[in-house]
Amino acid sequence: MRRLSLLALLLVTGCGTSAGTGGGQVACTEIGAPRGVSVDLAPGPAAAAASTAALEACWAGKCRTYPVELSPSTEAVDSGCDGDQPDAVCSAEVRETGGKHGFATIDDLPELPVRVTLTITGDDGAETSRQTLDITPEPVHPNGPHCPGMGPQAKLTVGADGAVRDGT
């Protein structure tokens, strides 16, 4: 009976082990993800003309407008390696793509349908685009799918033609 009790204690203790100790659990960090909507403008006339953007979000009978600070989008470009050997030094450079991106932080964004209106303004202050669509923000998993979701977030993409689409 004593051996059975000891075996049961070991089994229960083993179920609570943390990552790296053989218990099978995966550690999740405390990294978070802000609630909000990202905006990506594809390279083209719409992005070239865009200076600022604003996002109006409506749910539960209330509408609020949030600023979207637009920044140039970039990508990494391979600059080559100084040889073929495993210890060769390789590098990359960052270059602008011609697109733009931004994020509207919405601290109380729900995981429910939200009607959004994206307004893009040019350098001269005139609207270059204004479109409304319905989106449903979803949790994001910055630590991977095995960890709890954060956010929620949604994504809007603006094509080279200026058309706004739900990017999720």
Q: How confident is the model at residue 24 (pLDDT cuts 50, 70, 90)?
A: low
pLDDT of residue 162: 86
The domains of the chain are located at: 24-166
- Mean pLDDT across the stretch 47-51? 91
Q: How confident is the model at residue 168 (pLDDT cuts 50, 70, 90)?
A: low
Task: Output the six-digit token pair for 5.
Answer: 């009790």
Residue 21 has pLDDT above 70, yes or no: no
- Mean pLDDT across the stretch 145-164? 92
For the chain, what is the largest distance between any 2 Cα atoms, rounded to a whole number of angstroms?
Answer: 84
Whether omega before 152 lies within 30 degrees of 0, making that bond cis, reads yes
pLDDT of residue 101: 97
| DSSP, residue by residue, 58-93 | EETTEEEEEEE--EEEEEEEEEEES-SSTT--EEEE
pLDDT of residue 99: 96
